[in-house]
Amino acid sequence: MKKYMLPAAKLSLVMLVLCCFIYFGLVALIGKLSNGGGDGVTLMVNNKVVGYERIGQKFTEDRYFWGRPSAVEYNAAGSAGSNKGPSNPDYLKIVQERIDSFLVHHPGVKKEQIPAEMVTASGSGLDPHISVAAARLQVARIAKARATEPGKINTLLEQHIEKNPIGPDLVHVLKLNIALDTLQ
């Protein structure tokens, strides 16, 4: 074994330099050229950071589009899913409560219209998106809360639909809500 320990230790040191110092340094340099300079892309309103582009936010007020339920309440200091199994009775009860609460806040919406993602927690707890169908359901509520015509909000929503050639079509909740605030 001794014959191998010395070259093994030396080679480990070389690889530490190569894979950690040089590689991470290079990537950090490359990252400087990217949008946000490698610190994460922020969204600004009136020169103030109101969030990170990729990170979803908690919206509970009636005048905003709501995102998905989150196991970490959208605090990105951590990240986690609920890890609830599909047959867990406690979990099914929670989903039922979310459905009931959604129906109360959206008179006129039938439960057959509620997309599953609006009552199920995301994997990271930070999912920034909802589906187009989930956004459309909320237009009437937001129009009422903001005392504007639903048509205006609908137009804004249509502009914020991210159509993807592959993968699901998406609505970015935070960006849409920032645009909502500038509407009035």
Partner 1 sequence: MNKEILGVLLTYGLSLLVALPLGAAIARWLKGEKSIWDFMAPLEQFIYKSCGINPAAQMTWKEHLRALLSINLIWFIYAFILLVSQGSLFFNPDGNPSQSPDLAFNTAISFLVNCNLQHYSGETGLTYLTQVFVISFLQFVSAATGIAAVFVLFKALRDKVTDQLGNFWVFFTQSITRILLPISLVIATLLAFNGTPTSFKGKDQYISLQGDTVQVSRGPAAAMIAIKHLGTNGGGWFGANSTHPLENPNYRTNMVELIAQVIIPIALVFALGYYLNRRKFSQVIFAVMTLGFLCLLIPTMIAETGGNPALEKTGILQTGGAMEGKELRFGAANSAYWSIVTTIISTGSVNSMHDSSMPVSNAMQLLGMMTNAFYGGCGVGLLNFFIYLVIAVFISGLMVGRTPELLGRKIEAREMKIAALIAILHPLLILAGTALSSYIFVHYPANNWAIKPVSWLNNPGPHGFSEMLYEYTSASANNGSGLEGLGDNNVFWNISTGLVLLISRFLPIIGPLAIAGLLANKKYIPETAGTLRSDSYTFGIMIFAVILIISALAFFPALTLGPFAEYFSLY
Q: Does 52 bind partner 1 (CB under 8 A)?
A: yes
Q: Does 6 bind partner 1 (CB under 8 A)?
A: yes
- 56-74 burial: b if 16+ Cβ within 10 Å, else e: bbebeeebbbbbbbbbbeb
Distance CA 76, CA 123 (A): 13
The distance of closest approach from Cβ of residue 142 to partner 1 in the complex, given in angstroms and rounded to an integer, is 13
Out of 62, 81, 136, 156, point to the residue binding partner 1 (CB under 8 A).
81
Closer to partner 1 by CB, 36 or 151: give it: 36
> Which string of x and - marks every residue 19-48 that binds partner 1 (by CB under 8 A)?
xx--xx-xxx-xxx-xxxxxxxxx--x---
A 10 A CB-CB count for 124 gives: 19
Restricted to residues 92-111, the positions that interact with partner 1 (CB under 8 A) are 92, 95-96, 99, 111
Q: Which of 78, 102, 105, 67 is nearest to 94 (CA)?
A: 102
Q: Which of 128, 122, 117 is nearest to 82 (CA)?
A: 122
**Within a 13 Å sphere around the CA of 111, how many CA atoms are in the beta-carbon half?**
9
The distance of closest approach from Cβ of residue 184 to partner 1 in the complex, given in angstroms and rounded to an integer, is 15
Q: Does 70 bind partner 1 (CB under 8 A)?
A: no
Q: Which amino acid is at 98?
A: R
Q: How many residues bind partner 1 (CB under 8 A)?
A: 102
Restricted to residues 124-153, the positions that interact with partner 1 (CB under 8 A) are 124-131, 133
